[in-house]
């Protein structure tokens, strides 16, 4: 046990004196020390209830014979950070979370960990930390928000952003916008569609690192408190059996997660986070593998923003395990993978039936025979780019049009609001990648504005930045190499024809090769004046195609 380093023996008497200063009895010091990583704060709606989850975890740990000790992790609300400088600080927190959790866990000799994350970069950051620290660990999230309701129809945060686009287009008045504002996000929890937070919490189940319901039980349900108590008990069983994160997050488990990703139609951000988690586990997971898995994995769910079902509906339909059980009918999962239950994935999902074929399509009747995410390559993105295929209208799966080029999200947003984007255009937003942003901002404002203005069936958008899980439409992100690294997206000019073919996984700049060669020869990427953490991050970060990991 790691507590031997800080508790046992004469040489650790000074350490024990400090544990007494914490009010820990001798009995508590003799038990396994379980760190509970609390992401509670009062600025992220998905985290405001985590104090209750943490209390339940503490009780579960204590009931099972451990000593629970809480320490914090940070989190950024992507919705509140959206559309301004704050979004530069979203993705970058993933590494801050991983680094700080590693430091706290190893500095204090914890025997096991319970991670309590919820929103966006918080979940992958803690999964990365779990792989690094590699002590018995279980995850229990804060849970998803219930869907809002406007005029009897369910809504989510993507509805709110699109309402702003409709308002700017004169399709929505002040009163209706206010109604959306007050009713779209009715409870605490991670926003109610299959956005990044819910994607990653669901994939934590698929990886085997969270208990059943981790991704889907709504934040306000008492069942989540029960789940948290069980998580506290389970970590003690993992400790007894010495089952560790790298025993669970194997290559096969990561392939399972990627397969479930395709079936659920998760956020494109999973294509950043799964490779980064795999990297910490010593496993290579590249974008080429994603297309191979997508080609054979049916898309079974169209949760918001792709459709009109929400996380609460997925939970009622049987949750992630029911989706996984459907996938086993085609032999698409490795069911021998170990999980935090101490059982194999096959044992976990046995008997977890699909209770609503309108929410989880049977494998015999999928939304599509291929997965919800596609990786596109071509001269414009030789190392890859990513699109949420399941959220693209059929008429936009193949699109060719003239480029309208912008060197920042703000410039693009101003042009969209001013009506300068017309049917057929391909909006290009560059210098927003991991290095060029820096921080790879999400482009939910411009994509939502395009949809809200009624241009979703005629306008595409490409960027070296990324998208929110709430984005829908022909939106291609993670273009790599990015402009700041000398990528071809940096030499696209207004009027250049761009061809996007999602079924064929291609994205091409239709400009004569000699012209492109001359442009690239003379291309000097723009540089930004940076300071603080963003300066260090930009100097270390890799491209989006490799998960934006820090070198």
**Catalytically annotated residues:** 468
Ordered alpha helix ranges (H), 72-156 = 78-81, 93-107, 122-133
Question: Tokens at residue 130, please?
Answer: 């779990």
Question: Tokens at residue 57, please?
Answer: 């975890």
Question: Tokens at residue 525, please?
Answer: 């990427």
- Give the Å distances, CA to CA, from 193 to 264, 350, 472: 11, 26, 12
Cis peptide before 305 (omega within 30 of 0): yes
| Contact assessment for residue 231 and residue 139, using Cβ atoms and an 8 Å cutoff | yes
Phi/psi for 84 (5° steps) reads -150, -170
| Contact assessment for residue 445 and residue 413, using Cβ atoms and an 8 Å cutoff | yes
Measured between alpha carbons, how far is 196 from 217 in angstroms, rounded to an integer?
A: 16
- Give the Å distances, CA to CA, from 135 to 39, 40, 208, 381, 530: 19, 22, 15, 39, 37
Measured between alpha carbons, how far is 159 from 454 in angstroms, rounded to an integer?
A: 13
Longest dimension (CA), the chain: 76
Residues 6+ apart with CB under 8 A from 370: 262, 294, 295, 296, 297, 298, 299, 389
Residue among 342, 376, 350 nearest 479 (CA): 376
**Which 3 state secondary structure label does DSSP give 30?**
helix
| Contact assessment for residue 47 and residue 90, using Cβ atoms and an 8 Å cutoff | no
Measured between alpha carbons, how far is 249 from 231 in angstroms, rounded to an integer?
A: 18
Q: Would you tell me how many other CB atoms lie within 10 Å of the CB of residue 222?
A: 8
């Amino acid at each position: 046990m790691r507590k031997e380093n800080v508790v046992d023996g004469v040489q650790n008497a000074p350490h024990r004196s400090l544990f007494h200063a914490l009010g820990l009895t001798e009995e508590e010091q003799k038990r396994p020390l379980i760190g509970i990583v609390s992401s509670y704060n009062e600025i992220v709606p998905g985290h405001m209830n985590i104090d209750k989850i943490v209390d339940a975890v503490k009780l579960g740990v204590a009931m099972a014979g451990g000593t629970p000790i809480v320490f914090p992790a940070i989190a950024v609300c992507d919705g509140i950070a959206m559309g301004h400088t704050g979004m530069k600080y979203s993705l970058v927190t993933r590494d801050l979370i991983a680094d700080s959790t590693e430091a706290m866990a190893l500095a204090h000799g914890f025997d096991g960990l319970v991670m309590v994350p919820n929103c966006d970069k918080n979940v992958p950051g803690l999964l990365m930390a779990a792989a690094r620290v590699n002590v018995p660990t279980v995850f229990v999230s804060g849970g998803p928000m219930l869907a809002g309701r406007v005029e009897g129809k369910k809504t989510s945060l993507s509805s709110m952003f699109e309402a702003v686009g409709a308002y700017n287009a004169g399709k929505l008045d002040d009163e209706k916008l206010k109604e959306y504002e007050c009713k779209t996000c009715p409870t605490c929890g991670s926003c109610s569609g299959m956005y990044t937070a819910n994607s990653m919490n669901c994939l934590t189940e698929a990886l085997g690192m969270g208990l059943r319901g981790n991704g889907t039980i709504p934040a306000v349900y008492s069942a989540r408190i029960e789940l948290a108590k069980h998580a506290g008990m389970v970590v003690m069983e993992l400790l007894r059996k010495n089952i560790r994160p790298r025993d669970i997050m194997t290559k096969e488990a990561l392939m399972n997660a990627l397969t479930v990703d395709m079936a659920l139609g998760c956020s494109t951000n999973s294509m950043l986070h799964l490779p980064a988690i795999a990297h910490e586990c010593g496993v290579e997971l590249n974008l080429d593998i994603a297309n191979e898995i997508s080609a054979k994995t049916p898309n079974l769910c169209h949760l918001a923003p792709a459709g009109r079902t929400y996380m609460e509906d997925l939970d009622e339909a049987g949750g992630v395990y029911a989706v996984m059980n459907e996938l086993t009918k085609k032999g698409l999962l490795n069911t021998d993978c170990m999980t935090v239950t101490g059982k194999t994935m096959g044992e976990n999902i046995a008997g977890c039936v699909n209770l609503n074929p309108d929410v989880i399509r049977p494998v015999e009747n999928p939304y599509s025979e291929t997965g919800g995410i596609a990786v596109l390559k071509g001269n414009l993105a030789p190392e890859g780019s990513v699109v949420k295929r399941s959220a693209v209208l059929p008429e936009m799966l193949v699109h060719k049009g003239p480029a309208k080029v912008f060197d920042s999200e703000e410039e693009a947003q101003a042009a969209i609001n001013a009506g300068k984007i017309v049917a057929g255009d391909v909006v290009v937003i560059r210098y927003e990648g991991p290095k060029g942003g820096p921080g790879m901002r999400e482009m939910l404002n411009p994509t939502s504005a395009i949809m809200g203005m009624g241009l979703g069936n005629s306008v595409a958008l490409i960027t070296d930045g990324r998208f929110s899980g709430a984005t829908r439409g022909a939106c291609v992100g993670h273009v790599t190499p990015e402009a700041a690294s000398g990528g071809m997206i940096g030499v696209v000019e207004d009027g250049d024809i761009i061809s996007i073919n999602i079924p064929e996984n291609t994205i091409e700049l239709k400009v004569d090769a000699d012209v492109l060669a001359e442009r690239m020869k003379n291309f000097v990427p723009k540089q930004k004046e940076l300071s603080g953490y963003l300066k260090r991050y930009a100097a270390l970060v890799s491209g989006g195609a490799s998960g934006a990991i820090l070198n």
